[in-house]
Structure 1
Amino acid sequence: MKPSIKIEYCPKCHWMMKAAYMGQEFLTTFSDELYSVELIPSEVSGRYTIYIGDKKIFDRKEAGQFIEVKLLKQTIRDIIAPGKDLGHSDKK
């Protein structure tokens, strides 16, 4: 079964648009590899966490900042489609 990505975001911080943008990027880049992207409004203030299944791949509080979408795509690719070429997202 194809994996799903969950993006848990803080609605009080107005991060829904950021979560929707990232979800769109993931669905576009991994259209053949993903089952779904789920946006989850968090009840915890300041939360912005991304999971593949139950595996946490990014936590804004732990990182101390947001991460570039490019780096998230590389992380997701390494987990769900290691051989996939990300084109411009793979260039340094």
Structure 2
Amino acid sequence: MSEKPLPAIRITYCTQCLWLLRAGWMAQELLSTFGTDLGEVTLVPGTGGIFTISCNDQLIWERKRDGGFPDAAKLKQLVRDVIDPDRDLGHADRKTQKKTDPA
């Protein structure tokens, strides 16, 4: 009986643009939130303005396509939606709900 492998996050960042600190911060945020529910978070150096985040080879954020960089709450929601859609992210979810809830 084999267990399902844990999700793998891959953050590819541009070394020319000096985005290592941003990539590292995002990795830290994900590890702090999801902990042992993630199998790995990998930082991959690149060039040419690249900044992408994927989960299990599914692209969830691309700087050029999505218009910049996600904030921490948005990134956590995107990862959660791939690895555990029913998971409650607490304050990160409530912030989004307030914006969409007219009451």
* TM-score bracket relative to the smaller structure: over 0.9
**1:57 is the counterpart of 2:55:** no
The equivalent of 1:28 in structure 2 is 32
Contiguous gaps of at least 5 residues in structure 2:
96-103
The equivalent of 2:93 in structure 1 is 90
Give the whole-Å Cα distance in 2 for the aligned partners of 1:55 and 1:81. Answer: 14
Cα RMSD between the aligned structures? 0.9
Q: Which protein is bigger by CA-based radius of gyration?
A: 2
Partner of residue 13 from structure 2, selected from 9, 34, 45: 9
Give the 4+ runs in structure 1 shifted more than 4 A: none
Give the whole-Å Cα distance in 2 for the aligned partners of 1:64 and 1:84. Answer: 26
Question: Percent of aligned positions with the same letter in both sequences?
Answer: 44
Contiguous gaps of at least 5 residues in structure 1:
none
Q: TM-score, normalised by structure 2?
A: 0.84
Give the whole-Å Cα distance in 1 for the aligned partners of 2:36 and 2:84. Answer: 10
Q: Are the equivalent residues in 2 in contact too, given 1:33–1:81 (CA < 8 A)?
A: no
Count of aligned pairs between the two proteins: 91
Q: TM-score, normalised by structure 1?
A: 0.93
